[in-house]
A = this chain, B = another copy of it.
Amino acid sequence: MADFPSTFETLVDAFASLPGIGTKSAQRLAFHVLSLPVEEADAFARAITDARHSVCRCRVCQNLTDREECPVCADPGRDHSTVCVVADPRDVAALERSREYRGVYHVLHGVISPMNRVGPDDLTIRQLIERVDSDEIHEVILATNPDTEGETTARYLGRMLKPFGVKVTRLAYGIPVGGNLEFADDATLMRALEGRREL
């Protein structure tokens, strides 16, 4: 872009490097930053460094936290013998919102995906095995998404965990509550039929 100061261009490039932000949007965001009061711009920059430097992974469940152990793992009121395995910290937040689950979590930070060159060693599977091996864990609930990669990861984990004699379950997949049979896709209907339970 002609005649914009280089520091401005650097900021546009920084925004454009974010996922889902194109050049035009990046420019709009950079102009917005320039229009902010200096203190707000500085606070924005500080939010980035603070988050990046303070947020680490819980040493037990690998969820994001700013302590050694996340609030869920540190809570003695939770059922530490049940571990729900999810791909992403956002999944923990979603399950916590339901207020139904009282066990603890394990965050894989991804799913096995040969397409994206993500193998088992890139995830926190080793830490999960260690937990199952050393702690008093009775059940591992595999709650990866019901897509190809999520299924592959769940099957892989099932195979890995079986030798430890732990109960391994998979989250039920079917027609969502409030959903409509008529509009459900074939795969969902198939899963709903497969997972039918006796009343």
Contacts and interface: CB of A to CB of B under 8 A. Distances in A.
B64 A52 contact: no
Given A5-B65, A32-B19, A71-B3, A10 B90 contact: no
Contacts of A21: 29
A46 interface: yes
A7 B66 contact: yes
B53 A38 contact: yes
B31 A42 contact: no
A190 interface: no
A58 B45 CA distance: 25
Nearest to A67: B5
A20 interface: yes
Interface string A26-43: 011111111010100111
Contacts of A5: 51, 54-55, 64-67
A133 interface: no
A31 B91 CA distance: 13
Given A21-B29, A38-B53, A45-B48, 11 more contacts: A3-B71, A7-B66, A13-B47, A19-B28, A19-B32, A33-B52, A34-B55, A38-B52, A41-B48, A42-B49, A42-B52
